Amino acid sequence: MNSLFFSIFCFFSLLSFTRETANDAQAGIKVTIQDLRSNKGHVLISLFRNGNGYPDEPEKAIRKQRLSITDRSATVTFPGLPSGQYAIAILHDENDDEKMNKNFFGIPKEGYGFSNNVTGMFGPPSFGKASFSYTANTDIYLRIKTRY
How many Å separate Cα 104 from the centre of its chain?
31
pLDDT in tens, 125-136: 999 999 999 999
How many Å separate Cα 106 from the centre of its chain?
26
- The single-letter DSSP state of residue 82 is P
Return the beta strands (E) in 25-130 as ranges.
Answer: 28-34, 42-49, 63-67, 74-79, 84-93, 111-114
Classify domain 28-145 by CATH number. 2.60.40
pLDDT in tens, 71-122: 999 999 999 999 999 999 999 999 999 999 999 999 999 999 999 999 998 8
What sign does the CA torsion over 83, 130, 127, 37 have? positive
What is the model's pTM?
0.81
Structural domain boundaries of the chain? 28-145
Q: Letter for the amino acid at 138? A: T
For strand 63-67 and strand 140-145, is the pairing parallel, antiparallel, or unpaired?
unpaired
